[in-house]
Structure 1
């Protein structure tokens, strides 16, 4: 749909347009229960060009700002004849075409229009003018908590949000257990959402989005509030979406996430599309804007401007300046290797710091130095002309001396400040001419091809030996013994506590009519002493009304497959007697079992939402 300009609208639409235009998407979402898919509004279109998931042409969005409620009332009461609002443009003539299966990152400073654009694509906001075509189911993670009801429990909000995203009730119930498990909020799922922290809200919101099976995934910087563990978990799921052909529209201030997740980037500056291309080129363009101060208030506000630093007050802004004024810092610059002003570098890039000193007194062999500190104020690296044994000559009053430092910035990711100093000899403590602390701030980014943590970029050389089967049984057994605090037993009788040798896929033990047993997931494992001839398992399949059907179990010991075995259905128990192959006998081994999964709740046999495999009562090696 093409949205007309205000000048071409009838009078009655001029004053109603700003209000019903914003209300229409919300009303349509409430009626349909999913993002819009019709020809009008921000919609998916059957006429959309083949291969395009999101197509935006000439998109504009204006917001009306009133100085007071009375101004709003006057404009309403006069049917728009008296315009009392200020028009604030959020987006101006934005155009792009995102192909199916592609990933586009929106890059820009706060207030550039990224969130507004994502809301329009998601169908929660109407544009002022332009065309937006969306093809497929959209799942969006916009403002944190958007679409949630604070008085509802976490479980109720999963249902509510799932309906909002277009899932049917039976689909939501089938995925409920997986959503709760992904969010890891089992302990809080019955509590009202108002008791959740921002990180818990993110967990719940992303878990719902991750199980919608969307065609288009829209994320607006929401991952920034999560802890490191869950953020990595989300990134893994997003990469899986990408492998499955899901289209990604992603807004972030994290350059690493932009480069690793997206194959295209769009630079927004004050609501306009300034650049569109590969993430590397767009981020380089954005960094150049940061260096020129157009989009870098967050960085530049941390710096002091030496021309404004008062010698009497000692400070202005965040800089601190001191010294006897025999020489003054007259200028400075930080550039990349090509000489372009820059405040963001990849770890390992070369930075050039140039310091110009104006002398007010005669000084023989003055020292010019610099000091790099991290964001906590810790000294990371410092040097000067004295320590580098570089002669600076004899300077007279009125002389201007310039010294350049070429430094490989082998630093860890983060923000660093630069301090400069003019003095004599090795240290400024004895005779300091001019010392300016925190003169400028720059940022180091981790290279996508060599990620690391810490404060130093050491560039290691790695060699990897291809994995081979371990032949030394003593090493195998010794490693397991050291890790688990003892040798594994030859028999397990399931009891109240789960032994540490139950490796993966086990639910807590339960008390049955006869004895203790434990449910497993469809895939589970355990470590056991295999010094024997047979592995015996006492197991049971689903005991419900449909449990008369047998279940097939695939069992393997390490790399050796033992084949497929049949577990009888019903409430009884089946004893499996499995020969232990000679190549794995005589040591502790990892046994894995895989069976078809099922849910009691889906089968109408109770409300247990867990994904189940087998019942296990006893494991023994004979």
Structure 2
């Protein structure tokens, strides 16, 4: 492996033997391989990728896709059935919470224990101890057995040890999810400092925005295989598409079973496809085998976004705005069915991939319902099959200087509260606009204008 690479995973596979009964394990041993008493379960199959030194790589995938197994093989706590993993540098891993901790030892004693497991002499841990204790910030509990710790306190101590010893490769597997918001913020700040110092990061998280913004590249695992490997934003889009397709198939199967049962019972036929609630939709985009427009959109298809445009308040097409301007986003859509209960919305992201804002017609409808207003609701408006309709969404521009992407969506909302949503069409990169600043007239720094005022 080249010295430019920190981690090399080559054709790694991991197979587990699944026994129906405990005694089958003994029978398997006695059979000397002449008969199979176990079923094979391949947690990983032919996984290959390389991580360069100083690179941040995310690993995403549904539960059971093989993420944790892969990380355990990389750290050396599991042996692959076939294939090879090579690493350059000292690894610090935050995998299962509390792994490497003795529950009877105090936090202080476990800090020294973990340091020893990482290959450090006691004198080195002595030098680092104050920094570790300060980052963990568990107070007097530091001298109490860790079996009395909450999961958040355990995370604090474990993370503090791993990052203060300045590893060459840092591996994190979902552990940060148990921390409070303030500690997570401190963790991400520390990770960013480590990355700037050249530390290599392997990061597993279901928080797609964290993967998108914290990592350069990402690996998508599906049923133990690499489904995509590339730029993080594109891999996350593919992951979202996968989630949407899986959920659509799941609820479609439920609808089929309900329909079959109703038919057998000679029940009245129901349009279950429209009545079934679907989980909050996941946005996604594919990476291979499709045109760019196909890769940037998905949905069930009963309605479609034809185009998304940006205008000034006067109705003039525009792609450049200044703070204080009115931005009008026009969504032109077409329905292939006659329906109501629709929601037309947008998500706005800056060029760094951070979601700045999301809003839809249903947000306005919910507010009007809460105030018992008599104004018409878009949710109750019926569109006819084949009808082309437009929805204008307006906002006062309070954004900082940046390039912004508009993502468009049209969804079916069984209830007017975002609780039973089914995405009909979602499209990324539907439109772009830029915000500039007239420095001599009105100026502020940051991502948003908080309209601060001074007094004295």
Pairwise TM-score range, normalised by the shorter structure: 0.5 to 0.7
Q: Give the Å deviation of 1:83.
A: 2.0
2:385 alignment partner in structure 1: 401
Task: Confirm or deny that 1:164 pairs with 2:164.
Answer: no
2:63 counterpart SS class = coil
With normalisation by structure 2, the TM-score equals 0.65
> Which aligned segments of 4 or more residues in structure 1 are displaced greater than 4 angstroms?
299-321, 334-339, 348-358, 390-393, 403-411, 441-447, 459-466
Whole-angstrom CA distance in 1 between matches of 2:386 and 2:127 = 70
Q: Give the Å deviation of 1:203.
A: 1.1
Pair 350,255 (structure 1): closer, same or farther in 2 beyond 3 Å: farther
1:197 alignment partner in structure 2: 150
Structure 2: give runs of 5+ residues left out of the alignment. 278-282, 286-291, 301-309, 311-328, 346-360, 367-375, 396-406, 430-434, 446-453
Whole-angstrom CA distance in 2 between matches of 1:319 and 1:402 = 21
2:239 alignment partner in structure 1: 286
Pair 437,217 (structure 1): closer, same or farther in 2 beyond 3 Å: closer
Which structure is higher in helix share?
2
1:146 counterpart SS class = coil
Q: Give the Å deviation of 1:127.
A: 0.5
Whole-angstrom CA distance in 2 between matches of 1:112 and 1:370 = 34
Task: Confirm or deny that 1:228 pairs with 2:181.
Answer: yes
Whole-angstrom CA distance in 2 between matches of 1:171 and 1:231 = 27
Pair 193,271 (structure 1): closer, same or farther in 2 beyond 3 Å: same
**Larger radius of gyration between Structure 1 and Structure 2:** 1
Q: Give the Å deviation of 1:214.
A: 0.4
Q: Is the 8 A contact 1:319 1:439 kept in 2?
A: no
2:133 alignment partner in structure 1: 180
Q: Is the 8 A contact 2:299 2:426 kept in 1?
A: no
CA-based RMSD: 4.8
Number of residue pairs matched by the alignment: 359
Pair 97,195 (structure 1): closer, same or farther in 2 beyond 3 Å: same
Whole-angstrom CA distance in 2 between matches of 1:408 and 1:302 = 33
Q: 1:85 aligns with which of 29, 32, 38?
A: 38
2:83 alignment partner in structure 1: 130
Structure 1: give runs of 5+ residues left out of the alignment. 1-47, 322-333, 359-366, 394-399, 422-427, 429-435, 448-458, 467-474, 480-622
2:340 alignment partner in structure 1: 368
2:143 counterpart SS class = coil
Pair 230,405 (structure 1): closer, same or farther in 2 beyond 3 Å: farther
Q: Give the Å deviation of 1:303.
A: 12
Whole-angstrom CA distance in 2 between matches of 1:197 and 1:318 = 44
Q: Give the Å deviation of 1:243.
A: 0.5
Pair 82,186 (structure 1): closer, same or farther in 2 beyond 3 Å: same
Q: Give the Å deviation of 1:284.
A: 2.0
Q: Is the 8 A contact 1:179 1:211 kept in 2?
A: yes
Whole-angstrom CA distance in 2 between matches of 1:100 and 1:272 = 24
- Of the two structures, which has the highest relative contact order with CA contacts closer than 8 Å and spacing of 6 or more? 2
2:422 alignment partner in structure 1: 440
Residue-by-residue CA offset, 1:455-488 (whole Å, 9 max, x unaligned)? xxxx99896458xxxxxxxx9xx98xxxxxxxxx
Pair 355,192 (structure 1): closer, same or farther in 2 beyond 3 Å: farther
Residue-by-residue CA offset, 1:104-126 (whole Å, 9 max, x unaligned)? 11121111111111111111111
Task: Confirm or deny that 1:49 pairs with 2:2.
Answer: yes
Q: Is the 8 A contact 2:58 2:204 kept in 1?
A: yes
Whole-angstrom CA distance in 1 between matches of 2:420 and 2:53 = 47
